[in-house]
Amino acid sequence: MECLNEERIQDYLEGTLNAMEARLIRDHLLACPGCNARHKTDLKINRHLQHPPLLNPPDSIIASVLRTLYPGTSFYFSIIALIAASFAFLVTWIYIYFDFSNSSLIQALKLTSKSTSGWIANLIKVVSSVFSMIYASFKAIHSFVSYLLRIDFGPEIVRGVVLALSMIFLYSLIHLFSRKFKEKRK
Amino acid sequence: MKTFPVEKRKTILDDDQVLIKKIRKGNKAAFEELMRKYNRKIFNFIIRMVRNDEVAVELTQDFFIKIYTVIDKYNFEYKFTTWAYRICYNLVIDHIRKNQMQMESLDGDAVSQKEIISSENYVKDDGFRILSDEEVKNHLWKLVDGIPLKFKEVILLRYIQELKYEEIADISGLPVGTVKNRIFKAKEILKQEIEKDGMLK
């Protein structure tokens, strides 16, 4: 076999030759001191290239990217969300505490929607429907459980349950809204 | 539009792809994990290409932001690294092309290795001691910084990003034969320089 050129030695080192070619070159390297010396030099360079001295990137890179891509909720958005949540909480609480037994608020809302027009009337209709549903559901559950267990739950317990569930619902709504808002901003 | 001819995958998701699925669902921790996994290699590739700390930090950040913004376009049939490194490569090449000083390197008029070594007071064999493997390796990698960009980019993709010839060809848009040839020529340049300095004895 003729002496190996540099390209051949590199192919051998990079492992791009087939088994037969690799074997021929290996045999030649054992027999030829000149090619063997060149192979050793190339091997050394390859080894150094395969283990590059790597710098440690500054931690600020990841922190900065995360700050850009996942910003916290903005101050103004937090204020608006807080006001909205407080208002919703107040309305729910007033209804449950003072109006649960006679549903006069629902009646009032229905009357108001009749005397109003446009999107405000529709909004009032939606609110009164939601209150009606809550009212009807809990009245039904209250009657059913009282009948089943032969215990008359006081209106305070029912109010407490309604209040707790309202708060969970409200919290979920705000959480969902803030998440959608953040995704939209991204 | 380029296609991805290498390492086509169909069904089993690898670790990166599992992370991508989570990122798409808005999982912040998954994206952080992906960044920590590739931060070092990407940063080292970029810093050796641009040779400027601040620019390297900026480009590494830009790379991750870019990855995040186009993550929905990633095709699960292909390796994440090939897709991501191509984005990184394009980002760096775009930056270099916009930079007047680096334009010279693109044309092949790189600063000579000798100048780089002498300007940085690099450790050389003083004739009284045998240099350690670590010193030779550092010297060799300093030489890599000084070779023309067309050789440097393939060396960095091959040895820092640990890519195969086919993957480098896919990322750089060069034929596999050209990639192989450039790596060979780059090694020849490095070998000549390092032998001139008597560092392989």
Q: All domains of chain B, ordered by start, with CATH?
A: 1-98 (1.10.1740.10), 100-196 (1.10.10.10)
Q: Tell me if A53 and B39 make a contact (CB, 8 A cut-off).
A: no
Q: Is the pLDDT of residue B40 over 90?
A: yes
For the stretch B146-200, pLDDT in tens is 899 999 999 999 999 999 999 999 999 999 999 999 999 999 999 888 888 776 6
Phi-psi region of B121 (alpha: psi -120 to 50; beta: other; left: phi over 0): left
In a domain, A66, yes or no: no
Find residues 109-148 of chain A whose CB sits inside 8 Å of chain B: none
Find the DSSP H helices in chain A.
Answer: 6-14, 19-31, 33-50, 60-69, 75-98, 104-115, 118-149, 155-185
One digit per residue, pLDDT tens: chain A, 186 residues? Answer: 678 888 888 888 888 888 888 899 888 888 888 888 888 888 888 899 998 988 999 989 999 999 888 876 566 676 777 777 777 777 766 766 666 666 676 777 777 777 777 888 888 888 778 777 877 777 787 788 778 887 776 666 766 776 777 778 777 777 777 766 666 655
Q: Tell me if A48 and B40 make a contact (CB, 8 A cut-off).
A: no
pLDDT for res B95: 92
Verify that A121 and A85 share a domain, yes or no.
Answer: yes
Q: Which residue has the tokens 């641009």?
A: B50
Of B68, B83, B16, residue with least CA distance to A68: B68
For the stretch A136-180, pLDDT in tens is 777 787 788 778 887 776 666 766 776 777 778 777 777 777 766
In a domain, A97, yes or no: yes
Verify that A126 and A41 share a domain, yes or no.
Answer: no
Q: Mean pLDDT over residues B126-148, rounded?
A: 77
Closest-CA residue in chain B for A65? B61
Q: What is the DSSP letter of B130?
A: P
Verify that A37 and A108 share a domain, yes or no.
Answer: no
In a domain, A65, yes or no: no
pLDDT for res B117: 38
d(CA B98, CA A41): 38
How many domains, in total, are found in chain A? 2
Which residue type, as a one-letter code, is found at position A155? P
Verify that A80 and A44 share a domain, yes or no.
Answer: no
Domain extent for A87: 74-185
d(CA B86, CA A181): 32
Residues of B in contact with A48 (CB under 8 A): 133, 136-137, 140-141
Structure tokens at B79: 């390796």
Verify that A103 and A169 share a domain, yes or no.
Answer: yes
pLDDT for res A155: 66
In a domain, A60, yes or no: no
- Probe site for chain A from B27, B37, B38, B39 (most A CB atoms < 10 A): B39
Q: Tell me if A65 and B61 make a contact (CB, 8 A cut-off).
A: yes
In a domain, A33, yes or no: yes
d(CA B188, CA A45): 10
d(CA B135, CA B127): 14
Burial readout A139-155 (b: 16 or more C-beta within 10 A, e: otherwise): eeebeeeeeeeeeeeee
- State ipTM: 0.74
Verify that A166 and A89 share a domain, yes or no.
Answer: yes
Q: Which residue has the tokens 């090694």?
A: B187
Verify that A154 and A109 share a domain, yes or no.
Answer: yes
pLDDT for res A186: 53
